[in-house]
């Protein structure tokens, strides 16, 4: 990738998440980094370039393969915020594979990524191209938090990890892009495809035993370790699939978490009533998304694409992820990852931009195996990304947990 004009190019830069990502890069880019904003509308790109002092701009359209080839050929890393990815993202990834360009995005669309795996994983792996979806709030904290716990257990005690239980506490809002993606996934049947608990696993890591260990939470229960009520979590159906793919890819490289590894994820609530209300609300939403008239109502009442939480809400948002890991011997580890800012915007933008910077500036320090393919944050970027995020403001704690 030597001789490329830009180190990082941000595609979808004039959308809600894209504008925030451009501003983040303008404030956090390493001196000397050459980065560009890209999208369909030259006038909007020129305004954004003037505001952020990006090194350049590239006009490209997801419906015009020639412009996408030019876009991908001119940069070392293409970071995309242009969703719904199932609608717009496929040709962008194809251009990256043709031009041997590393790629990261903020998708949470597991069915779409399953298609990427089927079409591009083998070719990208052979060419050493890192295609890393899920580099936003879905699923960087879950994926890297689990990697951190499993690494601690192996480094400290020399043991496999039997189980990781993760739970989120959030304060934040929805963006129009996220809502549009959810509605698109419901309309195309991709939400139904996403029910497969091993959707992203390679066939050799989709055994009956693996499937039996991989169950989506449906119950409300008290957790005596974290001392909170746990309920189903809206994004668990994305994050769990990503974590399981990470373990499968690492196992193929001889560095899996353990032969009996299981991962589950939940949302935290202070009261049983709040947990039960969340569970009921998610079931109502699922039913509503299955019916076109209710989808039309959601579309009319919710934020439009390009819109998102107001600045005050983005500032006052927060996320905390707590993980409890169990070693093969039964010893426990507790880890916490916490960040300020709205999870779907501020935290997502920080994760994506730091992922892109790691690919562009520290590629030689990234995990060597697997060295290419349709990867995950844990396999494509590893603990190096977690180090970058900690330096950028993510709070991380980890240590042994002594049973009371």
DSSP of 270-305, one letter per residue?
SSHHHHHHHHHHHHHHHHHHTSHHHHHHHHHHSPPT
| 149 and 244 in a common domain | yes
Across the range 99-104, mean pLDDT stands at 99
- 166-204 pLDDT, tens digit per residue, is 999 998 776 777 778 788 888 888 888 889 999 999 999
Does 300 reside within a domain? yes
| 118 and 187 in a common domain | no
Is the per-residue pLDDT at 14 higher than 80?
yes
Position 404 confidence tier, pLDDT thresholds 50, 70, 90: low
Q: Dmax of the chain from CA atoms?
A: 62
- 326-355 pLDDT, tens digit per residue, is 999 999 999 999 999 998 889 999 999 999
Does 274 reside within a domain? yes
Across the range 102-112, mean pLDDT stands at 97
pTM: 0.95
* pLDDT of amino acid 90: 97
- 44-61 pLDDT, tens digit per residue, is 999 999 999 999 999 999
| 293 and 366 in a common domain | no
- 239-292 pLDDT, tens digit per residue, is 999 999 999 999 999 999 999 999 999 999 999 999 999 999 999 988 888 888
Does 331 reside within a domain? yes
Sign of CA dihedral 391, 317, 357, 371: positive
* pLDDT of amino acid 316: 76
- 242-257 pLDDT, tens digit per residue, is 999 999 999 999 999 9
Spatial separation of the C-alpha atoms in residues 57 and 41, rounded to whole Å:
10
Does 1 reside within a domain? no
Does 227 reside within a domain? yes
* pLDDT of amino acid 1: 63
- pLDDT, averaged across the chain: 94
Judge if the upstream peptide bond of residue 329 is cis by omega within 30 degrees of 0. no
| 272 and 360 in a common domain | no
Position 2 confidence tier, pLDDT thresholds 50, 70, 90: low
Residues of the domain holding 77:
6-136+349-384
What is the tally of structural domains in the chain? 2
Could you tell me which residue, 184 or 390, shows the higher pLDDT? Answer: 390
Residue with tokens 């040709």: 91
């Amino acid at each position: 990738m030597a001789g490329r004009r830009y180190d990082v190019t941000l595609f979808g830069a004039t959308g809600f998440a894209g504008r925030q990502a451009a501003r983040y890069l303008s404030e956090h880019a390493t001196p000397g980094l050459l980065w560009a904003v890209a999208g369909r509308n030259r006038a909007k790109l020129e305004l954004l370039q003037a505001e952020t002092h990006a090194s350049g701009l590239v006009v490209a359209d997801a419906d015009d393969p020639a412009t996408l080839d030019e876009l991908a050929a001119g940069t070392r890393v293409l970071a995309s915020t242009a969703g719904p990815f199932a609608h717009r993202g496929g040709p962008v990834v194809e251009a990256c594979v043709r031009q041997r360009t590393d790629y990261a995005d903020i998708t949470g669309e597991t069915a779409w990524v399953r298609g990427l795996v089927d079409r591009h994983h083998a070719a990208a792996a052979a060419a050493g191209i890192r295609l890393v979806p899920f580099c936003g709030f879905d699923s960087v904290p879950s994926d890297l938090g689990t990697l951190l716990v499993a690494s601690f257990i192996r480094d400290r005690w020399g043991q496999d990890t039997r189980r990781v239980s993760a739970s989120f506490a959030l304060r934040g809002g929805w963006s129009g892009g996220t809502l549009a993606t959810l509605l698109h996934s419901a309309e195309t049947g991709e939400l139904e495809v996403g029910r497969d608990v091993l959707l992203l696993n390679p066939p050799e890591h989709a055994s009956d035993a693996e499937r039996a260990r991989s169950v989506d939470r449906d119950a409300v229960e008290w957790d005596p370790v974290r001392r909170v009520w746990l309920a189903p979590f809206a994004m668990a159906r994305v994050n769990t699939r990503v974590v399981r793919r990470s373990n499968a890819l690492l196992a193929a490289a001889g560095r899996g978490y353990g032969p009996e590894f299981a991962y589950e994820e939940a949302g935290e609530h202070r009261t049983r009533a709040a947990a039960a209300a969340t569970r009921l609300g998610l079931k109502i939403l699922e039913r509503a998304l299955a019916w076109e008239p209710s989808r039309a109502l959601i579309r009319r009442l919710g934020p439009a694409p390009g819109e998102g939480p107001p600045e005050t809400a983005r500032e006052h948002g927060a996320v905390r992820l707590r993980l409890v890991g169990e070693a093969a011997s039964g010893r426990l580890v507790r880890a916490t990852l916490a960040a300020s800012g709205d999870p779907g915007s501020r935290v997502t933008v920080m994760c994506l931009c730091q992922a892109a910077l790691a690919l562009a500036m520290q590629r030689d320090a990234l995990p060597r195996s697997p060295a290419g393919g349709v990867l995950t944050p844990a396999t494509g970027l590893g603990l190096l990304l977690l180090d970058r995020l900690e330096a950028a403001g993510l709070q991380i704690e980890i240590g042994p947990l002594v049973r009371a």
